[in-house]
């Protein structure tokens, strides 16, 4: 489960893990007759921690990619070790935290699953798109072109097979969200130019030694919990980009792993929840927060040390 969630997040982005994998994991656990709780928590944690690897794994990475000056391949190369070790840290803590739940094996025979052939065309398109990211990176092209080509192939096929409509395609592009991110960027820029840079600048280290990278990641994680990780990365990028790609990657480790610390990831998210849904139940925050406190700081430090080692081994 850990490997599946980490790979789905890395390749398809955290959105895919949250929206698509989470219900599948719950249904699978139920079908196998095992307790869903550890697997559900793992899904939400890995949608964050697993999103360190590729620029396409998380929107924060995409926002930072061009500012970092790194190519697609170099980004992945520097983040491979932090990604692996952060996930390993999560795994060790989860094994210990959920010992009881994981020890109870299914007593009843698993229910039969309805099987469908794997969607080979979609899998192949994704594989070619990933190869396209590497190719585009080598040719100096923006990886967005490879992504657009992959999306176009899948859309045209779905349209030809009458599995989608123009309305669905337009709504899948989620134009309001694109405008939201653009507006967020403009607002954050205005706030930075009007004094936030001076206020935050005092706390931001300008070198990339191990201590400075850990400090930077910790600030980023804290900020991600206060104002959500998208605005956090937009605030911190202009302040750290001068220190080089190592600093930008440390910020990404902070904003990507940080949301595991608190249940909703941020205050802003809580407000957002109130807008999109009127749930009558508030989750017991204690267990999620305890798990966050046990995993997030440990994974963060391990990932930053791994980043520091990668920067030294591969050259920052």
Partner 1 sequence: MTVIAWILEATWPACVDATRRHAPPDADIVLLHVTDPDIAQVAHGAYAGLLGRGQPRRDPGIQVQDFAAATAHKLLQDAAARLARRCTTVQRTGRVETEVIAAADGAELIVLARDGDCSHLGPHSLSHASHYIVDHAPCPVLMVWPGTPPSISTQRPPPPHPPHPPPPPPR
Interface with partner 1 (CB under 8 A): 14-15, 18-20, 22-23, 26-27, 30, 33-37, 40-41, 43-44, 47, 59, 99-101, 103-108, 111, 171, 174, 176-177, 180, 228, 230, 259, 263-266, 268-270, 272-273, 276-277, 279, 281-284, 287-288
CB closer to partner 1, 47 vs 137: 47
Packing angle, helices 285-314 and 72-97, rounded to 10: 140
Q: Scanning the structure block, which residue is given the tokens 């409509």?
A: 165
Of 89, 60, 90, nearest to 75 by C-alpha is 60
Beta strands in the chain (DSSP E): none
State the minimum distance, in angstroms, from the CB of residue 219 to partner 1: 20
In three-state secondary structure terms, 279 is coil
> Least CB distance from residue 314 to partner 1, whole Å?
31
Alpha carbon distance 122, 259 (integer Å): 31
Which of residues 138 and 290 has its CB atom nearest to partner 1 in the complex? 290
Minimum CB distance to partner 1, residue 265 (Å): 4
Q: Which is nearer to partner 1, 20 or 113 (CB)?
A: 20
Nearer to partner 1, 156 or 271 (CB): 271
Q: What SS3 class is residue 33? A: coil
CB nearer to partner 1: give 33 or 185: 33
The answer to whether residues 293 and 257 touch, using CB atoms and an 8 Å cutoff, is no
CB 26 within 8 A of CB 36: yes
CA dist., res. 277 & res. 173, Å (int): 22
Question: Among residues 85, 23, 12, 93, which one has the least CA distance to residue 49?
Answer: 85
Residue 243: CB minimum distance to partner 1, A: 27
Structural tokens at position 74 = 């170099």
In the complex, the smallest distance separating the C-beta of residue 172 from partner 1, rounded to whole angstroms, is 9
Q: Are the CB atoms for 229 and 267 separated by under 8 Å?
A: no
- 226: helix, coil or strand? helix
Least distance to partner 1, CB of residue 18, Å: 5
Rounded Cα distance, 303 and 83, in Å: 7
Task: Output the six-digit token pair for 24.
Answer: 């599948």
Distance separating alpha carbons of residues 174 and 285, to the nearest angstrom? 31
Name the minimum Å distance from CB 31 to partner 1: 9
The answer to whether the CB of 16 falls within 8 A of the CB of 9 is yes
Cβ neighbours of residue 168 closer than 8 Å, sequence gap 6 or more: none
Shorter beta-carbon distance to partner 1: residue 174 or 193: 174
Instruction: State which residue, 96 or 206, has the beta carbon closest to partner 1.
Output: 96
CA distance 173 to 260: 27
CB-wise, 35 or 157, nearer to partner 1?
35
Q: Which is nearer to partner 1, 43 or 81 (CB)?
A: 43
Shortest CB 43 distance to partner 1, Å = 7
Q: How far apart are CB 274 and partner 1 at their closest, in Å?
A: 9
């Amino acid at each position: 489960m850990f490997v599946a969630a980490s790979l789905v997040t890395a390749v398809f982005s955290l959105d895919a893990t949250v929206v698509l994998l989470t219900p599948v994991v719950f249904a699978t656990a139920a079908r196998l007759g095992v307790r869903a709780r550890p697997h559900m928590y793992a899904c939400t944690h890995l949608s964050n921690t697993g999103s360190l690897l590729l620029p396409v794994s998380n929107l924060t990475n995409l926002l930072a990619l061009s500012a970092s000056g790194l190519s697609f391949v170099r980004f992945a190369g520097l983040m491979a070790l932090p990604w692996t070790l952060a996930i390993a840290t999560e795994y060790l803590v989860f094994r210990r935290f959920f010992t009881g739940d994981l020890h109870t094996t299914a007593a009843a025979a698993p229910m039969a699953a309805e099987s469908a052939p794997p969607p080979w065309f979609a899998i192949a398109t994704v594989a070619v798109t990933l190869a396209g990211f590497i190719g585009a990176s080598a040719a100096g092209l923006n990886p967005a072109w490879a992504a657009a080509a992959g999306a176009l192939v899948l859309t045209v096929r779905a349209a030809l097979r009458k599995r989608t409509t123009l309305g669905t395609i337009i709504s899948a592009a989620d134009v309001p969200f694109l405008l939201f991110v653009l507006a967020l960027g403009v607002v954050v820029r205005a706030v930075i130019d009007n004094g936030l840079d001076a206020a935050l600048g005092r706390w931001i280290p300008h070198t990339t030694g191990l201590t400075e990278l850990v400090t930077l990641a910790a600030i980023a994680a804290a900020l991600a919990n206060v104002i959500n990780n998208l605005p956090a990365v937009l605030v911190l990028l202009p302040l750290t980009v001068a220190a080089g790609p190592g600093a930008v990657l440390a910020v990404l480790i902070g904003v990507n792993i940080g949301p595991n610390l608190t249940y909703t990831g941020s205050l802003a998210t809580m407000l957002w929840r109130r807008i999109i849904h009127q749930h009558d139940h508030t989750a017991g925050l204690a267990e999620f927060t305890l798990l966050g406190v046990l995993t997030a700081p440990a994974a963060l430090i391990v990932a930053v040390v791994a980043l520091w080692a990668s920067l030294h081994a591969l050259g920052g």
